[in-house]
Amino acid sequence: MAEPKSVLVVDDSRLTRMMIVKMIKTHHSDWPITEATSVSEALECVNSQTFDFISLDHNMPDGTGYEILPQINIAQPAAHIGIFTANIQAVVKQRFEELGATFYGKPISEAMILQFTADGGQS
């Protein structure tokens, strides 16, 4: 049986966190999931634990995904990072992809979460 993967969900919207957690738990009930509601909470998490998957929002009250992603890349070089944002402009997508993350436009769907958790988790 595959070893459980650890997940960090970063989003200021409670609804989005609930949706992502529920969708992951439906398919991987044994995966531990940590939630962060802000950039500062996310930085605390990535500097104190190791994650296999990180879902990251872009627009948050205390900062943006652009600002935090380079720091996450340094702290969690092995993590697969998915950007889940409502800001679906091509230039935003391109910028995140250049920073090495996979881009997913909200609203979140189960297919999107399945793809996210399938990507990069086989190492």
Partner 1 sequence: MTSDIFTEDYCDTLCELFNIGMGRAAVSFSEMVNDEVLLTVPSLKAVDFNTAMELFQCISPGNVNAVEQYFEGRFSGNAFLFFNDESSLQLVRSILGEGNWGSELGELEQEALKEVSNIILNACFGCIADVLDCELESSVPDLICGEINDVFDVERMRIGENPLVLTLSMSFSLPNKKITGQVSLIMASDSIKRLITELERFMTLYV
Q: What are phi and psi of 11, to 5 degrees?
A: -165, 140
Q: Which residues bind partner 1 (CB under 8 A)?
A: 12-16, 18-19, 21-22, 59-61, 85-92, 105-107
Q: How far is the CB of 112 from partner 1 (least distance, A)?
A: 13
Question: Closest CB to partner 1 among 74 and 97?
Answer: 97
CB of 9 to partner 1, least distance (A): 12
Nearest CA-CA partner of 58 in 82, 23, 24, 32: 82
Based on CB atoms, which residue is closest to partner 1, 10 or 79? Answer: 10
The DSSP letter of residue 51 is: -
CA 27 distance to own-chain centroid: 17
